[in-house]
Structure 1
Amino acid sequence: MHNIVLRTRQYFLEANVNYCFVGIRRTGKSYMMYQQIKQLEADGIPLSQIIYVNFEDERLLEMTAEDLNLILEIGLEISETDIKPYLFLDEIQNINGWEKFVRRIADMKYRINITGSNSKMLSSEIASTLGGRFVIMNIYPYSFSEYLIANNMTKNYLDVISTKDRADVQNQYNKYVTYGAFPELVEIRNKRAFLSSIYQTVYLGDIITRNKITNDFAIRLILKKIAESVTKPLSYNRLTNILKSSGMSIGKQTVINYVSYMTDSYLLFTLQNYAAKLVEKETSPKYYFMDTGLLGLMLLDCKSAQLENLVAIELMRRYGTENVYFFENNVEIDFYVPLDNLAIQVSMQVLDNIDTRERETRAFVKLNNFIPNAKCILITNSEEAVIDCDGINIEVIPIWKWLLDN
């Protein structure tokens, strides 16, 4: 462990706060704990006062909430002082009833950090049990700037850069969007095989086994259909009908349950239509994958889907899912962020293709009837310009630049 180069993730952590790190597997939640442990060591805290337990360890499979107190007793014994040990509990959602123990320990003023890769662990009743004692932090795959740093590219690429620098950054971006941004992937040659293994772990462990599903073919088919529909709203009714036409007779409620298992595991997330009525908001969202590499496993030709999916991930990283929408009401806008009155369209290329350019820019003009004075951005693969369309100012920006300009 001592040889690991510590790449500090771009999350601001305060010293005296209990954190609950959540997110899809392999995205670096344990690493955030490791980062904190290294900081404690640097601050002079002896390792004997730091307790780290990984509940994925098969030797702990039989463990119950009653046994959790043992961990504390052993920790107090090892530290041989009256000073309270620091607790780091990894994938704690594997222990039923864990939340009462964690709350009690927090109330006793222990510093405690936990991780989990299932959003069920944050259901409203658990969140209220932990209320006020933890800061919940979503951990995502690398941002593009983290990815560049991990690839030893530390220049400021937003400054005026040479043609070679521009080619380098575009080349790194192409890999980033194609294979996604799981931190370990940077060091791995066979990226597709590694992505497959992450997908299998989430798919088999967090979706199939955890929810005791026997019909895994239905899950595979639903995921495939959702991948094919990324960028378009998809209702439960439509999804159920698509499955029926594939010869899979499965009720709408089952489809709803299966999709919720996928979002619980952080494999997928949803965005709602800002212009829709409440019921429709819930039932006809857009689905995106938590990582563009995972989407790439599902589809053959998916460059434009991956581009839009990447913008969705980055918006969620910047604003949180509850603040990002799409807008559909006689006008289709890919993303709308009310906090910043920001409207975003995503398209591989617009400047050379008159039809595409007309379609994408007209949408902003129409949106102005519903939401006046929105800031309009058109994100492309590599084009850059400023367009005026009927008095509306539209900034055309290449994706790599938009990702870095945060």
Structure 2
Amino acid sequence: MDKNVIKSLIIEYQQFVDKITLIERDIHLSNQLNYVFVGLRRAGKSYLMYQQIQHLLKEGHQIEEMLYFNFEDDRLINLTIEDLDLIKVCYEELYAHRPILFLDEIQIVEHWEKFARRLADQKYRVYITGSNAKMLSSEIATTLGGRFIIQNVYPFSFQEYLKANNIIVEPVWYFKNRTEIVRAFSAYFYFGGLPELELIKEIEKRQWLSGLFNKIFFGDLITRYSIRNDLAMKVLIRKLAESVKQPSSFNRLSNIISSTGVRVTTDTIIDYLEFAQATWLIFSIENYASKLVEKVSNRKYYFIDNGLLNLFLIDPETSLLENIMAISLKKKYEDELYFYLQNIEVDFYIPAQKLAIQVSYSLKDGATRKREVSALLKIAKVMGADKLLIITWDEEDMIVEDGKKIAVIPIWKWLLE
């Protein structure tokens, strides 16, 4: 690459990130650590970089110290690891500072991880983003050698979504502006929390989400993983969406998809599920009560954002309710989150917290209420769970039965607590 082009880009990027207006995320980073930001396309990884740059500026650093570089810039083509070294050389020719490096979508450059490790070894402070979960593979994790912290970046939480829409959540919000908050939740519930979506008119939101899904599907899945049977992958994603509340085994998914006339083997399904999770389109949780083999082969799959899930659903409310709860719990508990299925069916179980949660759109039907309460009472007896919740759309109650308290909480209230 031409050095003058690189230098002009360095200065252009500095001017850009210095002036950009941000919606601050509820993510706080140490100034002493190196980070790799990973997550879905458009989840806000780059903006988290901008946020960290502006934090450093407020602390007294100069914009000239910031070496931000966007490797998705269409002016950059076929970069190599030698170009990465050249970018650093060009910065050093411009400034006498020791740079703080922000390398955006660097996974585009082959062997980027060697450059990243060398920077860390030389005690540079480095921040990296990437949509490609190859960045988290065991090989690259070994190469980075523990020098970087993996920071998962999810779409907006409901609290962040309200902040982005200038809705203040005061300590007395439940009595002061609950109606406004519930109304805002409806849009968040159906369209999800991807930050860029806040700039899109409501009538165009679904179209924007559809376009994003196509980019993920064809760019991050089909092209990146050289998938020849794109129809099978599309059918798999649709089936996962339709069965988002139920466990799905590898064999069951293989049989369902093959029954549509798209022949796939179980091994292919295993690969496709791994790819879909690697691109952050979906995530999975295990059955706490299962044996080891079943923990791996029979999981519940959820979508990382309600807006993307909603593209595939008719009458989506019950599925979206459980999915949004799964997202929130996954962010908070990560690998400590399970479901429980063994003579008892409980939607979510966090053993470390002794917390069991059922998700039900409404408890007005007597049979539904009995089923949900009974399951929680059983898991309290069998597993010793003592925090019992039922999450609903808008019903609130405190059920006391067999000496146990079960809190019934509306989803929008739970997400703000």
Q: Shorter-chain TM-score category?
A: over 0.9
Q: 2: CA distance between counterparts of 1:326 and 1:365? A: 15
Q: Please, which moves more after superposition, 395-404 or 252-261?
A: 252-261
Aligned twin of 2:78: 62
Aligned twin of 1:332: 345
Aligned twin of 1:197: 211
Q: 2: CA distance between counterparts of 1:27 and 1:105? A: 26
Q: Please, which moves more after superposition, 305-314 or 180-189?
A: 180-189
- Do 1:49 and 1:78's aligned partners in 2 also have CA atoms closer than 8 Å? no
CA positional deviation for 1:158: 5.5
Kindly provide the CA deviation profile for residues 162-188 of structure 1, in whole angstroms up to 9, marking residues without a partner as x: 4xx222111111110100000111221
TM-score (normalised: structure 1):
0.95
Q: Residue 375 in 1 paired to residue 387 in 2?
A: yes
SS of the residue aligned with 1:298? coil
Counterpart among 169, 193, 197 of residue 185 in structure 1: 197
Aligned twin of 1:303: 317
- Do 1:23 and 1:140's aligned partners in 2 also have CA atoms closer than 8 Å? yes
Give the alignment of 1:140-289 within 5 angstroms.
140-156=154-170, 159-162=173-176, 165-189=177-201, 190-289=204-303
Kindly provide the CA deviation profile for residues 87-122 of structure 1, in whole angstroms up to 9, marking residues without a partner as x: 111112222211111011111011110011122211
Q: Residue 78 in 1 paired to residue 98 in 2?
A: no
SS of the residue aligned with 1:285? strand
CA positional deviation for 1:252: 1.1
- Do 1:343 and 1:375's aligned partners in 2 also have CA atoms closer than 8 Å? yes
Q: Residue 26 in 1 paired to residue 42 in 2?
A: yes
Aligned twin of 1:341: 354
Kindly provide the CA deviation profile for residues 200-225 of structure 1, in whole angstroms up to 9, marking residues without a partner as x: 11111100111112221111100001
Aligned twin of 2:7: none
SS of the residue aligned with 1:400? helix
SS of the residue aligned with 2:307? helix
- Do 2:351 and 2:385's aligned partners in 1 also have CA atoms closer than 8 Å? no
CA positional deviation for 1:157: 6.1
Q: 2: CA distance between counterparts of 1:255 and 1:14? A: 39
Q: 2: CA distance between counterparts of 1:20 and 1:66? A: 21
Q: Residue 392 in 1 paired to residue 404 in 2?
A: yes
Aligned twin of 1:92: 106
* Paired residue type of 2:144: L
Q: 2: CA distance between counterparts of 1:373 and 1:224? A: 34
Kindly provide the CA deviation profile for residues 134-168 of structure 1, in whole angstroms up to 9, marking residues without a partner as x: 11111111111111111111132655414xx2221
Q: 1: CA distance between counterparts of 2:301 and 2:397? A: 30
Q: 2: CA distance between counterparts of 1:158 and 1:10? A: 21
Kindly provide the CA deviation profile for residues 218-252 of structure 1, in whole angstroms up to 9, marking residues without a partner as x: 11100001101101000010000001111111111
Q: Please, which moves more after superposition, 374-383 or 120-129?
A: 120-129
- Do 1:270 and 1:286's aligned partners in 2 also have CA atoms closer than 8 Å? yes
Q: 2: CA distance between counterparts of 1:60 and 1:315? A: 39
- RMSD (Å), alpha carbons: 1.5
Aligned twin of 2:65: 49
Q: Residue 323 in 1 paired to residue 336 in 2?
A: yes
